[in-house]
Amino acid sequence: MQRFFATSPSKLLTLQRVVLATVIGAHGAQKLLGWFGGWGFDGTVHWFTQDLGAPWIVAVLVVLGDSLGMLALAAGFLTRLVAAGAAATMLGAIVLVHAQNGFFMNWAGAPHGEGFELHLLALALALPLIVTGGGAWSVDAILARRAKHKEKESMTTKTISREALHARIGAGTITVVEALPAEYYRKAHLPGALHLPHDAVDALAWSVLPDKSAPIAVYCASDTCENSHVAAASLERLGYIDVSVYAGGKKDWTEAGLPVESGPAATRRAS
Residue 245 has phi, psi (to 5 degrees) of -115, 130
Do 249 and 135 share a structural domain? no
The residue segments making up the domain with residue 75 are 2-151
The CATH number covering residue 202 comes to 3.40.250.10
Paired with 178 in beta bridges are 195, 219
Range 101-128 average pLDDT: 86
* Per-residue pLDDT at 73 exceeds 50: yes
Burial classification of residue 156, based on how many CB atoms lie within 10 Å of its CB (0-12 exposed, 13-18 middle, 19 or more buried) = exposed
Do 139 and 171 share a structural domain? no
Which percentage of the chain shows pLDDT scores above 90?
80
The better pLDDT of the pair 152, 8 is held by 8
Supply the pLDDT for residue 269: 46
Do 109 and 196 share a structural domain? no
Do 16 and 81 share a structural domain? yes
Which percentage of the chain shows pLDDT scores above 70?
92
Average pLDDT along the chain: 91
* Confidence label for 110 from pLDDT (cuts 50, 70 and 90): low
Q: Is residue 271 part of a domain?
A: no
Residue 87 has phi, psi (to 5 degrees) of -65, -40
Q: Is residue 263 part of a domain?
A: no
Do 107 and 236 share a structural domain? no
Supply the pLDDT for residue 266: 55
Q: Is residue 71 part of a domain?
A: yes
Supply the pLDDT for residue 107: 73
Please measure the distance between the N-terminal and C-terminal CA atoms of the chain and give it in whole angstroms: 47
Supply the pLDDT for residue 92: 93
Supply the pLDDT for residue 102: 87
Instruction: Give this prediction's pTM.
Output: 0.57
Span 132-188, pLDDT tens digits:
999 999 999 999 888 876 665 555 679 999 999 999 999 999 999 999 999 999 999
Do 193 and 168 share a structural domain? yes
Stated as kind and residue range, the H or E segment containing 58 is helix 56-66
Do 140 and 17 share a structural domain? yes
Which residues have a Cβ under 8 Å from the Cβ of 261 and sit 6 or more positions away?
Answer: 188, 189, 190, 191, 192, 193
Do 196 and 139 share a structural domain? no
Do 103 and 38 share a structural domain? yes
Burial classification of residue 116, based on how many CB atoms lie within 10 Å of its CB (0-12 exposed, 13-18 middle, 19 or more buried) = buried
Alpha-carbon distance of 64 to 67, in angstroms, equals 5
Span 13-28, pLDDT tens digits:
999 999 999 999 999 9
* Per-residue pLDDT at 218 exceeds 50: yes
Do 141 and 16 share a structural domain? yes
Do 91 and 186 share a structural domain? no
Do 87 and 35 share a structural domain? yes
